[in-house]
Amino acid sequence: MKKLLTHTLIVLSLSSFYASAVSVVVHPSNSASLDEGDLKKIFLGKSKTFPNGSQIVPIDLSSGIARDEFVKNVLGRSESQIKAYWSKLIFTGKGQAPKAVDSEAEVIKLVSQDPNAIAYVSDGAVTDAVKVVAKF
């Protein structure tokens, strides 16, 4: 019984480790203050500018744990709902999905080079090249 309990605790610890927090990041020079509602509007294409009026360049991850967590916890939707949402907007000409990249390293590189970029990565991928504006 003790061995089973230990094994269960290890599995639970690993599960919480892999379901890591997600950090929303911007260029270090970006002074925008954003809440969860703002982020939802940005990543659903409903908000196109930061509070200071500069153009927003959202960057999405194409797949992975950070994407799954962001879609579920910030956008409040499933992956299939997000795909259907963007398909409809693109088909009707009413929107364009954020640029999607394949790796968190690429996200960090793009955000660190563009003062208007905003994206999300797992906490472990954050570097000094970007600024964290929110965590989920």
**Average pLDDT for 22-40:** 95
Residue 1 has a pLDDT of 55
Q: Which domain CATH number covers 111?
A: 3.40.190.10
Distance, C-alpha 58 to centroid of its chain: 9
Work out how many domains the chain is built from and give that number: 1
For the cut 80, the answer to whether the pLDDT of residue 46 exceeds it is: yes
Domain for residue 15, yes or no? no
Give the DSSP per-residue string, 85-127.
Answer: HHHHHHHHTS--PPEEES-HHHHHHHHHH-TTEEEEEEGGG--
Give the percent of the chain with pLDDT over 90. 82
pLDDT tens sequence across 64-78: 999 999 999 999 999
pLDDT at 127 over 60: yes
Structural domain contains residue 9: no
pLDDT-based confidence at residue 51 (cuts at 50, 70, 90): confident
Range of the domain at 70: 20-135
